[in-house]
Amino acid sequence: MSSETRMLIDGELLAGRQEFDVLNPATEEVAGTSADADASDMDRAVAAARQAQDSTDWATDPELRKRSMVQLQSALEAEQEEFRAELVAEVGCPVLTTYGPQLDAPLREALGWPTEMIEQFSWSRRLPDNDAFGLGFQTHREVWKEPVGVVGVIMPWNFPFEVILNKLGPILAMGNSCVIKPAPDTPLNANRVGRLIAEQTEIPPGVVNIVPSSDHLVGEVLTTSPLVDMVAFTGSTATGRRIMEAASATLKQVFLELGGKSVNLILDDADFAATVPTAAGMCMHAGQGCAMTTRLLVPFSRYDEAVELVKTGFESVSYGDPIDPANLQGPLISAKQRDRVLDYIQKGIAEGARLVTGGSIPSGFDKGYFVEPTVFADVDNSMTIAREEIFGPVIAVIGYEDDDHAVQIANDSEYGLSGSIASADLDRAMAVARRIRTGTLAINGGSWYGADAPFGGYKASGVGRQCGVEGLEIFTETKTVGWPTGP
Ligand code: NAD
């Protein structure tokens, strides 16, 4: 399989003055190389997006948008298996995950649903006629939705295909142009998307630019340039804060999808044998997901039973070579991330949490950035491992007295991105769900995910929503107009 090295600027696939290697995190071998954009490439991409936004009919021609999004969908589907192999190689995600959230799930609907919504979206609405200032004549009034303009997209490495598609779909459907900066660890899938856009769609040059770089700061241009109207970022809360601050100088709109420390809340009437071991599902992709439920809340009345069950669950997680379809967990993305996870584990031990299982680099793994599925018990919600996003296969088991106490612990977090609740009584689970300050919740194993489902966070987990009608509206501006009713 040959990867695409070139970036996409103003409709052209360009080699770039330099290249950088992309490592396979399971083998530490080179998975491919990418053009390494510098600040001048980024400037050209931003100028091209501005030009396309202001002087092509992309923003005003819904038929062109629909047609070219359908073309892009077909082109992506034709290379689905190449994407699968490439994602496993550069992201280190288990191939199992590509049949769901890494590839097949977003490919199924992330472009398709926004394409359908081009027709169904409420582009304008009528307000009642009025004479607000008492001028003696009535005025018709309307609210119009228009594209926000040039969107700078800054990408993470953990679910890069999912994120690029769930950004591109709404951005394009709403008539915007964009400059996408992939994460330095995982540019190859984005470069491939760029080639397909250039070669197989009618998307006008400059509407989509894909600018990979090994230098984080090349992406910073997107947060400061006066030519960019909005920044859409997925990644860490720390970087999100920095982006928001940088964007304030030009008062850009910011859309941030950030970190989480979500709870998996097991109410005392739940079927423990059926639900508690499934907490190990958070080891999927080595825990590198912002919506992972990394705090397991169990009642003190059944605490020991729960710890035994979660231990069993974590010890049965199959991990290793991401190509092996039996594995749920692969490597961390990089040596840096692996070391960060191991540091958190040491902090957990130092602060007095009880290491129940895991905690180390597994034996026999000489290559690749692997960490064992790890369970901590006797965790107090004030400990570092209960407060900070570890982004690894590490769960903290926290006890609670009653439902009120559980809700209080769930909400005692800087974050509020996701979570899950289990109970034999759906009404009770729903009542608790209403009290948790979080953007998404899975109740009794249900799934909230979908291109039509808004996703995002309360508090430090973000600003705005991706997907759903809210995720279309976020890429629009609002204009209100009035004109006299009479002749
Ligand atoms: P990061 O947030 O620093 O990087 C994400 C993206 O932001 C990358 O494309 C990067 O190049 C870019 N970036 C970094 N600094 C920037 C700046 N000043 N201006 C503009 N763009 C900038 O994430 P990371 O360093 O790759 O990972 C660190 C931690 O982030 C992880 O351990 C994890 O906790 C978290 N993370 C969260 C998510 C999520 O979806 N919530 C995704 C990835 C990483």
The pLDDT tens digits for 277-328 are: 999 999 999 999 999 999 999 999 999 999 999 999 999 999 999 999 999 9
Look-up of token digits 């856009």: 197
Calpha distance 337→345 (Å, rounded) = 13
Q: Is 258 in the pocket of ligand 1 (CB under 6 A)?
A: yes
CA pair distance 149, 160, nearest whole angstrom:
23
Indicate whether residue 184 lines ligand 1 (CB < 6 A): yes
Per-residue pLDDT averaged across 105-128, rounded? 98
Distance CA(464)–CA(101), nearest Å, equals: 21
**Residue 257 bears catalytic tag:** yes
Same domain, 183 and 310: no
Tell me what pLDDT residue 2 has.
87
What does the alpha-carbon distance between residue 191 and residue 188 come to, in Å, rounded to a whole number? 5
pLDDT score recorded for residue 487: 78
Residue 333 lies in a domain: yes
Answer whether residue 1 shows pLDDT above 80: no
Evaluate: CB of 157 within 6 angstroms of ligand 1: yes
Q: Which two tokens stand for residue 192?
A: 């491939």
Mutate to test the pocket of ligand 1, among 90, 163, 216, 394 (most ligand atoms within 8 A of CB): 216
236 touches ligand 1 (CB under 6 Å)? yes
CATH number at residue 126: 3.40.605.10
- Tell whether ligand 1 has an atom less than 6 A from the beta carbon of residue 331: no
Closest atom, ligand 1, to C-alpha of 237: 2
**Residue 166 Cβ contacting ligand 1 at under 6 Å:** no
Q: Inform me whether the pLDDT recorded for 134 exceeds 80.
A: yes
Predicted pLDDT at 109: 98
What's the distance, CA 149 to chain centroid? 22
Q: Is the CB of 158 under 6 A from ligand 1?
A: yes
Considering the domain architecture, whether residues 281 and 416 belong to the same structural domain is answered as yes
Q: Are residues 472 and 439 in the same domain?
A: no
Q: Which two tokens stand for residue 4?
A: 């695409």
SS (H, E, C) the chain: CCCCCCEEECCEEECCCEEEEEECCCCCCEEEEEEECCHHHHHHHHHHHHHHHHHCCCCCCHHHHHHHHHHHHHHHHHCHHHHHHHHHHHHCCCHHHHCCCCCHHHHHHCCHHHHHHHHHCCCEEEEEEECCCCCCCCEEEEEEEEECCEEEEECCCCCHHHHHHHHHHHHHHCCCEEEEECCCCCCHHHHHHHHHHHHHCCCCCCCEEECCCCCHHHHHHHHHCCCCCEEEEECCHHHHHHHHHHHHCCCCEEEEECCCCEEEEECCCCCHHHHHHHHHHHHHHHHCCCCCEEEEEEEHHHHHHHHHHHHHHHHCCCECCCCCCCCCECCCCCHHHHHHHHHHHHHHHHCCCEEEECCCCCCCCCCCCCCCCEEEECCCCCCHHHHCCCCCCEEEEEEECCHHHHHHHHHCCCCCCCEEEECCCHHHHHHHHHHCCCCCCEECCCCCCCCCCCECCCHHHEECCECHHHHHHCCEEEEEEEEECCC
- Examine residue 457 and state whether it is found in any structural domain, yes or no: no
How far is the centre of ligand 1, averaged over its atoms, from the C-alpha of 289 (Å)?
A: 12
Instruction: Tell me the pLDDT tens digit for each residue of 38-81.
Output: 999 999 999 999 999 999 999 999 999 999 999 999 999 999 99
346-388 pLDDT, tens per residue? 999 999 999 999 999 999 999 999 999 999 999 999 999 999 9
CA 166 to centroid of ligand 1, rounded, Å: 17
User: 379 CB under 6 A from ligand 1?
Assistant: no
Indicate whether residue 344 lines ligand 1 (CB < 6 A).
no
Same domain, 18 and 112: yes
Q: Is 77 a catalytic residue?
A: no
Q: Ligand 1 test: best mutation among 188, 221, 239, most atoms within 8 Å of CB?
A: 239
Check whether 193 has a pLDDT greater than 90: yes
Question: Does one domain contain both 146 and 21?
Answer: yes
User: For ligand 1, what atom is nearest to the CA of residue 213?
Assistant: 11
pTM exceeding 0.85 = yes
Task: Give Cα separations from 27 to 103, 266, 455 (angstroms).
Answer: 21, 37, 33
- Give the pLDDT mean for 319-338: 98
Residues 345 and 416 grouped into a single domain: yes
Rounded distance from Cα 365 to ligand 1 centre (Å): 27
| 456 assigned to some structural domain | no
From 178, 283, 290, 467, active-site residue: 290
Yes or no: say if 482 and 144 are a contact pair by the CB < 8 Å rule.
no
Q: Are 273 and 254 in a shared domain?
A: no
The number of angstroms, rounded, from the C-alpha of 319 to the middle of its chain's C-alpha atoms is 23
Residue-wise pLDDT tens digits, 411-466: 999 999 999 999 999 999 999 999 999 999 999 999 999 999 999 999 999 999 99
Q: How far apart are CA 217 and CA 25, in angstroms?
A: 23
Same domain as 398, residue 347? yes
Tokens representing residue 34 in the block: 């990418």
Residue 2 maps to a domain: no
How far does the centroid of ligand 1 lie from the alpha carbon of residue 236, in Å? 5
| Residue pLDDT, tens place only, 89-102 | 999 999 999 999 99
Task: State the amino acid at position 369 in one-letter form.
Answer: Y
Protein residue whose Cα sits closest to atom 17 of ligand 1: 220
Q: Is 219 in the pocket of ligand 1 (CB under 6 A)?
A: yes
**Nearest-CA neighbor of 341 among 395, 278, 413?**
395
User: Which atom of ligand 1 is the closest one to the Cα of 157?
Assistant: 43
Residue 234 has pLDDT above 90, yes or no: yes
Which residues form the domain of 122? Answer: 7-258+462-483
| Token pair 């530490």 in the structure block, residue | 28
Q: Which one of 4, 90, 257, 389 is the catalytic residue?
A: 257
Task: Return d(Cα 344, Cα 245) in angstroms, integer.
Answer: 28
Residue 90 near residue 4, CB atoms below 8 Å: no
The pLDDT value given to residue 486: 86
pLDDT at 22: 98
CA–centroid distance, residue 208 to ligand 1 (Å): 22
Is residue 98 in some structural domain? yes
Q: Determine the residue type at 198.
A: A
Give nearest CA residue, ligand 1 atom 29. 236
Calpha distance 381→45 (Å, rounded): 45
Q: How far is the CA of 69 from the centre of ligand 1 (A)?
A: 28
Number of Cβ atoms within 10 Å of the Cβ of 20: 17
Residues 300, 431, single domain; the answer is: yes
pLDDT digits (tens, 9 = 90+) for 13-39: 999 999 999 999 999 999 999 999 999
Q: Which residue has its alpha carbon closest to ligand 1 atom 20?
A: 220
Q: Is the CB of 223 under 6 A from ligand 1?
A: yes
Q: Are residues 185 and 97 in the same domain?
A: yes
Interval between CA 239 and ligand 1 midpoint (Å): 6
CA 421 to chain CA mean position, Å: 22
* Domain contains 17: yes
Of the candidates 315, 396, 330, the one whose C-alpha atom is nearest the C-alpha of residue 367 is 330
Would 307 be classed as within a structural domain? yes
Lowest mean pLDDT across 135-139, 204-208, 214-218, 483-487: 483-487
CB of 415 sitting under 6 A from ligand 1: no
The rounded distance, in Å, linking the Cα atoms of 420 and 278 is 11
Domain count, the chain: 2
Cα of 156 vs centre of ligand 1, distance in Å, is 6
Residue 293 sits in a domain whose CATH number is: 3.40.309.10
Calpha distance 308→69 (Å, rounded): 50
Q: Work out whether the CA dihedral 203, 472, 231, 75 comes out positive or negative.
A: negative
Average pLDDT of the residues of the chain: 98
The answer to whether residue 211 is domain-embedded is yes
37 Cα–ligand 1 center, Å: 18
Are 252 and 300 in a shared domain?
A: no
Find out whether the beta carbon of 186 lies less than 6 Å from any atom of ligand 1: no
Which residues on adjacent β-strands are paired with residue 151? 178, 230
Structure tokens, 186: 């995982």
The residue among 180, 189, 164 whose CA lies nearest residue 3 is 189
Same domain for 242 and 128? yes
